[in-house]
Amino acid sequence: MGDEAEAYEGSRYASHVSIVRNEDVCIACNRCVDVCMQDVHVPNPEEGKPPLVYHPDDCWYCGCCVMECPRMEEGAIVFRWPVQSELRWKRKETGEHFRVGMANPPAPRMTPPVGGWVVLRDPKE
């Protein structure tokens, strides 16, 4: 058990780790263990210790473990979306950051590109 726990601790901030738990805030209620459909969370064999995450690659990114946590607001468990979902773009003119799917994305740029607009012929012709 010790080697697996140490392996997890060494990779807890790697990009593939979807769940980061604050052990100081977690009350070890094991609700995340009960609701996880993929058994990503494993009960800790030590009484009173937070659950362990042994299989982060099996996570479906559903977030049910975070939503079920009674100490979610205090930051007991934080869900990290896949790197692909965290991508953002920045407009050169304004420096504004935005993401695909955000609530109020900035308006699309309507200035023509450097080479100008490609005008396709009218289908009525």
Per-residue model confidence as pLDDT tens digits over 49-99: 999 988 788 888 888 898 899 998 998 998 877 655 666 677 777 887 776
- Which of 20, 6, 80 shows the shortest CA–CA distance to 50? 20
Q: How far apart are CA 125 and CA 52, in angstroms?
A: 67
**Cβ proximity of 43 and 107 under 8 Å:** no
- CA 90 to chain centroid: 20
- One-letter identity of residue 18: S
> Whole-model pTM?
0.55
User: Which residues fall within 8 angstroms of residue 14, CB to CB, at 6 or more apart?
Assistant: none
Residue range 4-25: mean pLDDT, rounded = 63
Average pLDDT value over all residues in the chain: 76
| % residues pLDDT > 90 (the chain) | 22
User: Which residues fall within 8 angstroms of residue 12, CB to CB, at 6 or more apart?
Assistant: 20
CATH number of 2-83: 3.30.70.20
